[in-house]
Copies of this chain bind each other. A is one copy, B any other.
Amino acid sequence: MATANGAAAPVDTVTTGPIEGSVKHYQEVDDLRIPVRRINLTNGDTFDVYDTSGPYTDDNATIDLEAGLPKLRDTWTKPQVDGAPTQLAWARQGIITPEMRFIAAREGVEPELVRDEVAAGRAVIPANHKHPELEPTIIGKKFLVKINANIGNSAVSSSIAEEVEKMVWATRWGADTIMDLSTGKNIHETREWILRNSPVPVGTVPIYQALEKVNGDPTQLTWEIYRDTVIEQAEQGVDYMTVHAGVLLRYIPLTAKRVTGIVSRGGSIMAAWCLAHHQESFLYTHFEELCEILAKYDVTFSLGDGLRPGSIADANDEAQFAELRTLGELTKIAKSHGVQVMIEGPGHVPMHKIVENVRLEEELCEEAPFYTLGPLATDIAPAYDHITSAIGAAIIAQAGTAMLCYVTPKEHLGLPNRDDVKVGVITYKIAAHAADLAKGHPHAQRRDDELSKARFEFRWRDQFALSLDPDTAREYHDETLPAEPAKTAHFCSMCGPKFCSMRISADVREYAEKNNLTDVEAIEAGMAEKSAEFADSGKQVYLPVVS
């Protein structure tokens, strides 16, 4: 890949190699190879988990950033039928595409379920034909909850190399999609490097780049500049685009009395344009032309909530829900063009107002996948907004939100660095997984059970390997008990060798099983005579096992 000015490639290295305790594995399903992270347990078992990390965690893969990832989907058959060449159109015609089969295998569901949900518009598969490097993923409430990580440089900070590494790093820890929100220099080139090397769908907000083209003055934006930007990005392979077409002129005064006005960048740009021209925005008036462009590439709409609340005080207000109604109208138009649609949501919402957001979105937008930013459940903890928002994210995902946009500890304060990206991703994997459990996803609890069994049996290495972040789990354990024997010790630093509830409990179990004491009747009938025996064995429980 040549750089814009012919200089040396700006990106020469990224993080590679498997996550500790696991290897990359491929499940062969017909002609497809489905990537999984295979965790090797110390008891000889293996445990496979969903894997978003692409070839970077494959020790057998050769990573060539200039060449980009292998063009996996170029060999896949594309259905040749009348209508828009999109997953939505194909699904409606009863066609199960390779993307749908790939996803079904990843999710452990039937391909027909994938097709059916896409056909109904309740799920989307963001997969631009020009992004063949992609390992397809699905976003919809009947599937695993997905998370997005925002990256991108700004006028103040960061380079192409940093952003490509952030993409690799975020997907390593579980980001299902990436949004490149660059607003600084080299927007086109940064995106090119990210797209050619990204195994996950890439989203953008085209208005950011369009604004750069008019030197940052939103009043100078035009449909033509915007349209050309969208085509430029679609040609590169962007899989989904945030479009703030629901910011109507008459909604803007509804924000005037808010505590925090308009906090969406896209929303504020469009509001400024609408006010300056006293017209509805070109995103709204040219929406059908936009649909025709997106349909051609199968770019998915992410209809932006430009008027989302930026504080607890502004949650669920008239401006927010007025825009949501307009997004519902636009959803119908997009789908009539065969374009896939998801809907973006807040923001800042106190817990008791969260579920209403999902119900209203489902009602107004034909259950199009909901894609929310948090929401933050309180405003009072800058530096901890990954946590304030994980609370809201878990609740909104339980209620049916299909994808969660992560929030990092730097939210409201600065640009996330590599460490912040990891903390944001892990935090959102927690929220997403907690929701998968609460929704009763058929496979979700297996990992909890496997880890808890390892914990109960003092298989420390397995506990680390099964966790979302083995490196940090091991590091924390080693802070108090660094010695290698402690990794197999039947105790931990919390209680020490003489005093461990897990050990007592394991002993209780062993004793109960040995004596068939698994129900109340048995214990009532048979235990008195056994008590002396237990007292003897009980004393042995407390002998240290590590010399």
Contact = CB atoms under 8 A, between A and B. Distances in A.
B415 A382 contact: no
Interface string A468-506: 110011011101110000000000111111110110111
Interface string A508-532: 1101110001111011100110110
Nearest to A519: B253
A504 B381 contact: no
Interface string A440-460: 100001011101110110000
Contact of A381 (B254, B469, B531): B469
B467 A383 contact: yes
A116 interface: no
A91 interface: no
A269 B154 CA distance: 57
B253 A414 contact: no
Complex copy number for this chain:
2
Interface string A400-431: 00000000011011110100000000110111
A269 B503 CA distance: 11
Nearest to A532: B276
A127 to B, nearest CB: 28
Interface of chain A, main secondary structure: helix
Contacts of A377: 394, 430, 434, 437-438
A372 B293 CA distance: 54
B498 A216 contact: yes
A156 B493 contact: yes
A351 interface: yes
Contact of A508 (B275, B391, B473, B495): B275
Nearest to A322: B520
Interface in A285-329: 310-313
Contact of A480 (B156, B452, B508): B156
A272 B507 contact: yes
A250 B499 contact: no
A501 B263 contact: yes
A352 B397 CA distance: 12
Given A448-B311, A452-B259, A388 B434 contact: yes
Interface string A147-161: 000000011110000
A378 B433 contact: yes
Contacts of A278: 527-528, 530-531
Interface of A: 154-157, 183-184, 211, 216-219, 249-250, 252-257, 259-265, 267-269, 271-272, 275-278, 310-313, 348, 350-352, 377-384, 386-388, 390-391, 394-395, 398, 409-410, 412-415, 417, 426-427, 429-431, 433-435, 437-440, 445, 447-449, 451-453, 455-456, 463-464, 466-469, 472-473, 475-477, 479-481, 492-499, 501-502, 504-509, 511-513, 517-520, 522-524, 527-528, 530-531, 534-535, 538-539, 541-542
14 contacts: A154-B494, A155-B497, A219-B539, A250-B523, A259-B456, A268-B502, A272-B538, A380-B433, A381-B467, A387-B387, A387-B430, A391-B395, A391-B430, A413-B493
